[in-house]
Amino acid sequence: LDASIKFLQFITSPEAGAIWVDIVGELPAQLEAANDPELMADEKLGAFAAGLPYAHATFFVNESDNRQALIDAYDMVLLSGEDPNTALDIAVETVQEMLDEFWADR
């Protein structure tokens, strides 16, 4: 139990947020870490970090499958020569089916 508490304390710390930015290249979840002067000065991430206090999380139904639908559409166009509109229509159908299934019993 002690180890799990220590892990949670660390993973939610500004220090872990800074490590996340350095290694993963994404914004930290901790607002304190987002205020790091080095991050605020970053050419690509600085403006996004400055906006974090005003940000809200987006609800996704199965984010990875949403992403995969767009990746598949991109691949259809790039690798198979599919019309971009057709590929996006297929992605929309895929995601809509996922949403319909998710919300059907709620």
Task: Look at residue 72 and tell me whether its pLDDT is greater than 90.
Answer: yes
Task: Look at residue 35 and tell me whether its pLDDT is greater than 90.
Answer: no
Task: Look at residue 83 and tell me whether its pLDDT is greater than 90.
Answer: yes
CB of 90 closer than 8 Å to CB of 76: yes
Dist. CA 36–CA 65, nearest whole Å: 33
Using a cut of 0.75, tell me whether the model's pTM lies above it.
Answer: no
CB of 92 closer than 8 Å to CB of 54: no
CB of 32 closer than 8 Å to CB of 14: yes
Name residue, tokens 């930015």.
21
Task: Look at residue 86 and tell me whether its pLDDT is greater than 90.
Answer: yes
Sign (positive or negative) of CA dihedral 57, 59, 63, 67: negative
